[in-house]
Structure 1
Amino acid sequence: MKGIHSILVACFLVLAFVCFLASAFDPSPLQDFCVAIDDPKDAGTHSVYDSQFYVNDIDHDANNTLNASTSNRVGSKVTTVNVDQIPGLNTLGISLVRIDYAPYGENPPHTHPRGTEILVVVQGTLYVGFVTSNPENRLITKILYPGDVFVFPIGLIHFQYNLGNTPAVAFAGLSSQNAGVITIANAVFGSNPPINPYVLTKAFQLDKNVVTHLQSIFQSQRPEAC
């Protein structure tokens, strides 16, 4: 009897764990597609999604990515194609980004709270990596060449750095219609309103003047909300 009880408890724990994992990702769709809408008042205007309407919602003009500007402080430009650009991605659990890198530019350390990323290099040479969670905080890195692929697990801090003196380009797929992005330096030093500098002084073991200087830089360069 005790053995049966132990088995039932173990099965319950496994089921609870599986349910937890299932809730950590985009929900499975209950239909072929469900085009996203900006205004709930429009929900009843397309009771039947004809082919032309759907085509308009799965197409995205990528011409603006061909001359992506990388003239910024980190030397990279991330062009996102998610449900905001393609409403037809709604409930499908997938999105895409293109990353352009200036010579020696980088996509700085960041996380995607809602999606795993798989990246493929199409031009240039990238040094990429991610850091495992506490307490190991182990750095996993690799140098990628055109055609190489690398995976960044969901939620982990990761980065890409262009090792060459010529531009680089990569594409990445994400396992969410909107994986989200938290750029570490921007979030910590450029938050609105600013984090109390004494908190950051203790957390990073830095002089308070260094912290306030970093805050002044990132506060002044805070991007507009998107």
Structure 2
Amino acid sequence: SEPEVNVLKRFYRPMVPEKCKQRMSREGSISSLSSAPMDSLNTEFIYYSTVLKDILPAMSRIEDKNALLPWVGRLYAPEYHSTALRSKRNRHLLQLCLSMLNDEVLPCFKEVPAEDVPLPKLSEMAKLKIPPARWESDHYWQDLIADLPEKNAKMACSVHEVCSQDADEEGCNPKAGALLDQEFMYFLHMAKPYAALISNPTGKAKVALWLQTLATIRVTS
């Protein structure tokens, strides 16, 4: 599109050494050249534009394409290339790209505001309620621990002398521990079907023992 071409010309304008020298000598300082801002918003806009060109035609439902096209038109309007609105434009384009990658129209893009009404902030638009993923609802880890004898259900980590789950410990970060637990739940969920595909009984038993052993380490750091 025409705005994108203009952005490309402005952003990738070549720097001529002779002109640089003239500018430095005229302003009497090299700092004026080094302080020239790098326009990351234009780079981001060009990236989103490239993504849109590739994934919009690939959407499976024509009604979804028709629903998103007016948004593309609004975001590429001249007023959204102004300095004050470029950041807002890019945030909407990012959300639009995510909607297309999911091959659906998110609730926030169901309706297009009128031409004379500014686009609302993303925080004010309807949010998509996403149900928990299958790995988040998988109780395999809890079931695995419940089936073990009490003395084997918890194994201390040989790397740490003090459990950092203790809230009284200085420097404890419970959020980091919770994130690591979620990561382990995800990997455990992914490992289950792959372990079931192992045809060698000995190999399958070794994998099962490893999963069981790793599941008993209940110390976060």
Superposed pair shares fold, TM > 0.5:
no
Report the TM-score range of the alignment, normalised by the length of the smaller protein.
under 0.3
TM-score (norm 2): 0.22
Larger Rg: 2
TM-score (norm 1): 0.22
Which structure carries more relative contact order (alpha carbon 8 Å, separation 6+)? 1
By percentage of residues, which structure has more strand?
Answer: 1
By percentage of residues, which structure has more helix?
Answer: 2
